[in-house]
Amino acid sequence: MTHYMNLRPQPFGMIASGAKTIELRLNDDKRQKIKIGDTIVFTETSDRNKQITSEVVALHKFCGFAQLYEALPLDKCGYLPEELPTASYKDMEEYYSADKQVRYGVLGIEIRVVSVK
Distance CA 28, CA 106 (A): 8
Q: Residue 76's closest CA among 25, 15, 31?
A: 15
CATH number of the domain that 43 lies in? 2.30.130.30
- Digit-coded pLDDT (tens) for 46-57: 999 999 999 999
pLDDT at 38: 98
Range of 108's domain? 2-116
pLDDT at 49: 97
Counted domains in the chain? 1
pLDDT at 116: 96
With beta carbons less than 8 A apart as the criterion, state whether 58 and 36 touch: yes
Higher pLDDT among residues 94 and 38, named by residue: 38
3-state class (DSSP) for residue 8: coil
With beta carbons less than 8 A apart as the criterion, state whether 51 and 44 touch: yes
- Digit-coded pLDDT (tens) for 57-114: 999 999 999 999 999 999 999 999 999 999 999 999 999 999 999 999 999 999 999 9
pTM for the whole thing?
0.95
* Phi/psi-derived region of residue 111, left when phi > 0, alpha when psi is between -120 and 50, beta in every other case: beta
Average pLDDT value for residue range 3-23: 97
- DSSP secondary structure, 45-104, as one string: TTEEEEEEEEEEEEEEEESSHHHHHHHS-GGGTT--GGGGGG--GGGGGGTS-HHHHHHH
Average pLDDT value for residue range 2-20: 97
- Digit-coded pLDDT (tens) for 23-32: 999 999 999 9
3-state class (DSSP) for residue 107: strand
Can you give the C-alpha Rg of the chain in angstroms?
13
pLDDT at 55: 98
